[in-house]
Each structure stands twice: as structure tokens, then as C-alpha cells.
């Protein structure tokens, strides 16, 4: 059996590990546009100089050799010929028995004339981007980041470590609006501002000004003001990398459409990670890669961890984790507690946790995730919601037997 994996990120590497662990004889081929298997979560540490290129790798140095994986680096897939079971390149093909698409996501550039293609405008999705930002950032005087989500703040953090003082422009009124509530986000905003970062919140970028050499020299905002700029990083979101699948017959909507077994509509073709649009979480991508590999091997396993709103954040020594809803709706109950070292909030709907934010102290995060995932009613179990524990998660059947409520 020959397994081909396109993409060497979290999902792809996890799948390769699982395939080799379960089968000593199957052939495994990995195809990637990069020369290294690296963590995209660590790109900002490369920009800031905290790590070199080897330091952002998340596999052992001899990973491919020791696992007998043929690694085809610096290769760009042009299309998939599902009729003939072939992955196609400009200069050849690679046949497969089972195929996994794990190409991740790519930076999204807003449709602003003069933005995409400018010589000093970059996203941050690949090592190529990080190299360019680091190179140009070393000599830039006015650095602007569009987007105050997790990627935007990763960029800003790396630039701060370079000694730069970036300006971050964000349409929302708070930073990390998709990851945290306003209170938890403010903790990070204050830390970034103390370090020299400036934020322009509630602002929309309306246009860019370019010089004769094709470089952006300034951006214009919705209020009519301008920001000088000789390095611009766009971190306004990502989209699953699916454009190259247009003629493959593989159904794509928000991402590659998969069933509970991570199989596509085409026999013997699977997908995992950001390319599916199921989640942008690293742990979820790892789990999807493992599940997909098991199914490729004929070991049926369903993927059930479908939390699209699960985030982990760590800046300035402060960890945060959020699962589910960030803010309550009408009728919900919000319970929070805060002191100098932590901020924690849980959102209850009809007694069932639907969201939790933990900052500073993220212990018991797995417990809260299980409550949310299994829709466990915690009402009446304790007067203090923060004292609810696994011990409270047993019920009693009519016949007197104990029942585990997570089943």
C-alpha cells in the first residue's frame, strides 16, 4: 500500500507518524513546498530571533529517514488526477493508493487595490514570509500590521523582539476578538502597549499609497488619517488552501468537505487540518491527522472533536485558553472570578456550560472542555461553579446504579 501525504504541517506529520506506527511495510511519501517541517506557531519566534530555522522544527532531525518516509520537498502540486490516482507536478506525477490532503491554509488579503503584490507587503503563513519580514523588518522604520487576531499579535510580538514598535490596525473594538472576551483581551493589550506596540482599534484600512518602485509607503484609514509604512504585514485572516483543487472533482465549500472519517467524496482521498476548515487549532489538526491515517489503513475511527472555537494563547508569560462561546447571549448566565494572577469565566445556558475562558491559570481546562462537549448540566451540583468537579459528574439510574454523565 502506498500512502501519499500533501503537506508537512501538524496534520500531515501526525498522519505520517500514525501510518508508520501502525504499518512497518507500507510506503509513505510526503510532499511539501518547503524544505523543512516546521511549526507555523513558532514563526514569530524566528522573526524575533528567539529561534533559528532548525529551532522551529517540530520533528526529530532524522524523522523522515528513521521512519522510512520519502520526503519530496520544494515541490508544488498542480492538480490531483483522481481518476488515475496521481498527484501531478509541472514536471511529473506521483501515484498513490491512499491520499491525504493536508495543505493547511493561506493568508487572506482584503480586496484593497495595490495591497497584494506590493514588494513590501507580506502575510505570515510560511517560512518564506517569515524570512522576508525578518529581512525587511531589520531596516524598516514604520511597520504596520493589519489585524489584531492571533497571527497579527504573533507578528507584532516578533517585531517587538526585533526592537521595532509596530502599529496594529484592527476593525474590531478589541484585540483578539475571535479568541477572548474584552476583559481577557485587555490584559494582553496593556502588555503589548507597555512593550512599545500601538493599536488603532475600530479602524478600517481603506487604501494604500505606493511609490514609484511599487512599494507601499502609507495606508489610509476610514477616518481619513494616514499611517506611514515601509513594511506592511497583513494578518486579517486565513482561508483553507483549496484553490488548486478546482478541477479535481473533490467537493470544497469553506474547505475540503469530509465526513466523520475525514474522507472526501472521492474514494481513497482524505483531508485533515486547516484545509478542511473544521478548526484552526494545532491540537485538532494533530488529532485529525491521526484519525485520517487510521482510516486510510482500514482501521475505522470517527473524528468527534469538532470545537471550532478552541484557542490557546501565550504572550508575555501569560497563558490563556478559551473553548466555545466567548460572550453570553440573552438568558445565559456568566460566572467569573478575577484576581491579580488570573481571570476566569464560564457561560451557562440552562445550567449547561457553553463557553469558558481561562487566563493566567488554565488548569482544569480539559475538565471544562468535557463539560461543554458532553453538554453536562451542572445546575444544582454546587453553589460555587468553580468547585464543580468530575466527582459531580455521576448520576443515579432508577435502579440505583451509578451513571457516568459523559457517556
Tell me the CATH architecture of domain 121-236. 3-Layer(bba) Sandwich (3.50)
Class of domain 2-106+239-296: alpha beta
Question: Above 70 in pLDDT, residue 362?
Answer: yes
Residue 364 has pLDDT above 90, yes or no: no
Is pLDDT at 142 greater than 80 in this prediction? yes
Look at residue 280 in the predicted model and tell me its pLDDT: 74
pLDDT at residue 404 greater than cutoff 60: no
Looking at the predicted structure, is the pLDDT value of residue 407 above 70? Answer: no
Q: Of the given ranges (95-109, 114-128, 155-169, 299-313), which has the lowest mean pLDDT?
A: 299-313
The domains spanning 2-106+239-296 and 121-236 adopt the same CATH topology: yes
C-alpha cell read off for 267: 474514494
Question: Does the structure show a pLDDT above 70 at 40?
Answer: yes
Q: What is the pLDDT of residue 124?
A: 92
pLDDT at 262: 97
Band (405; pLDDT cuts 50, 70, 90): low
3-class DSSP assignment, residue 395? strand
Residues 43, 8, 6: CA angle, nearest 5 degrees? 135
- Domain chopping of the chain, boundaries: 2-106+239-296, 121-236, 318-404
Residue 267 pLDDT greater than 70, yes or no: yes
Q: According to the model, what pLDDT value does residue 173 have?
A: 96
DSSP letters spanning 354-381: EEEEEES--TTHHHHHHHHHTT---TTS
Give the pLDDT of residue 117: 81
Average of per-residue pLDDT across 127-156: 94
Length of the chain: 407
Confidence of residue 391 (pLDDT cuts 50, 70, 90): low
Q: What is the rounded distance in angstroms from the CA atom of residue 266 to the CA atom of residue 254?
A: 17
- Residue pair 122/234 in contact (Cβ under 8 Å)? The answer is yes
Q: Could you list the beta-strand ranges (E) of 174-332.
A: 198-201, 205-210, 216-221, 226-228, 231-234, 238-240, 269-271, 310-315, 318-324
41: annotated active-site residue? yes
Q: Which of 16-20, 33-37, 80-84, 285-289 has the lowest mean pLDDT?
A: 33-37
* Radius of gyration of the CA atoms of the chain, in A: 23
Residue 321 above 60 pLDDT?
yes
Of the residues 41, 88, 197, 229, only one is catalytic, namely: 41
CATH 3.30.390.30 fits 318-404, yes or no: yes
pLDDT bracket for residue 388 (50, 70, 90):
confident
> Tens digit of pLDDT for each residue in 118-140?
889 999 989 999 999 999 988 99
CA distance 9 to 95: 21
Is a pLDDT exceeding 70 seen at residue 306? no
240 CB contacts (<8 Å, ≥6 apart)? Answer: 104, 105, 106, 252, 254, 255, 256, 274, 275, 276, 277
- The pTM (predicted TM-score) of the whole model is 0.87
Bridge partners, 310 (sequence order): 323
Please state at what angle helix 150-161 crosses helix 127-137, rounded to 10 degrees: 40
The CA dihedral of 131, 53, 282, 162, to the nearest 10 degrees, is -50
Amino acid at each position: 500500500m502506498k500512502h501519499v501525504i500533501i503537506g508537512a504541517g501538524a496534520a500531515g506529520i501526525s498522519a505520517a507518524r500514525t501510518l508508520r506506527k501502525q504499518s512497518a511495510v507500507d510506503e509513505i511519501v510526503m510532499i511539501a513546498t518547503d524544505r523543512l517541517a516546521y511549526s507555523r506557531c513558532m514563526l514569530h519566534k524566528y522573526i524575533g530571533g528567539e529561534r533559528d530555522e532548525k529551532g522551529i522544527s517540530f520533528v526529530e532531525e532524522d524523522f523522515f529517514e528513521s521512519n522510512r518516509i520519502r520526503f519530496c520537498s520544494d515541490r508544488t502540486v498542480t492538480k490531483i488526477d483522481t481518476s488515475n490516482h496521481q498527484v501531478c507536478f509541472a514536471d511529473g506525477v506521483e501515484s498513490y493508493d491512499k491520499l491525504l490532503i493536508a495543505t493547511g491554509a493561506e493568508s487572506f488579503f482584503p480586496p484593497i487595490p495595490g495591497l497584494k503584490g506590493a514588494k513590501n507587503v507580506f502575510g505570515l503563513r510560511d517560512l518564506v514570509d517569515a524570512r522576508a519580514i525578518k529581512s525587511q523588518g531589520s531596516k524598516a522604520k514604520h511597520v504596520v500590521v493589519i489585524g489584531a487576531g492571533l497571527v497579527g499579535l504573533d507578528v507584532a510580538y516578533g517585531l517587538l523582539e526585533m526592537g521595532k514598535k509596530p502599529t496594529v490596525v484592527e476593525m474590531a473594538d478589541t484585540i483578539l476578538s475571535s479568541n477572548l472576551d474584552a476583559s481577557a483581551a485587555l490584559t494582553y493589550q496593556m502588555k503589548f502597549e507597555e512593550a512599545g506596540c500601538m493599536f488603532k482599534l475600530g479602524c478600517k484600512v481603506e487604501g494604500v499609497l505606493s511609490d514609484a518602485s511599487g512599494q507601499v509607503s502609507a495606508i489610509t484609514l476610514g477616518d481619513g488619517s494616514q499611517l506611514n509604512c515601509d513594511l506592511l504585514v497583513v494578518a486579517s485572516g486565513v482561508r483553507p488552501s483549496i484553490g488548486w483543487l478546482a478541477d479535481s472533482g473533490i467537493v470544497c465549500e469553506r474547505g475540503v468537505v469530509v465526513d466523520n472519517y475525514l474522507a472526501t467524496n472521492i474514494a481513497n482521498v482524505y483531508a485533515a487540518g486547516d484545509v478542511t476548515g473544521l478548526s484552526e487549532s494545532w491540537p485538532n489538526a494533530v488529532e485529525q491527522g491521526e484519525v485520517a491515517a487510521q482510516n486510510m489503513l482500514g482501521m475505522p475511527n470517527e473524528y468527534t472533536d469538532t470545537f471550532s472555537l478552541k484557542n490557546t494563547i501565550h504572550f508575555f508569560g501569560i497563558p490563556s485558553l478559551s473553548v466555545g462561546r466567548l460572550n453570553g447571549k440573552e438568558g445565559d448566565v456568566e460566572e467569573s472570578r478575577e484576581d491579580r494572577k488570573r481571570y476566569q469565566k464560564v457561560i451557562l445556558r440552562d445550567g449547561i456550560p457553553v463557553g469558558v475562558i481561562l487566563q493566567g491559570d488554565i488548569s482544569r481546562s480539559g475538565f471544562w472542555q468535557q463539560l461543554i462537549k458532553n453538554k453536562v448540566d451542572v445546575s444544582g451540583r454546587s453553589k460555587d461553579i468553580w468547585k464543580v468537579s468530575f466527582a459531580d459528574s455521576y448520576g443515579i439510574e432508577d435502579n440505583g446504579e451509578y451513571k457516568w454523565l459523559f457517556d
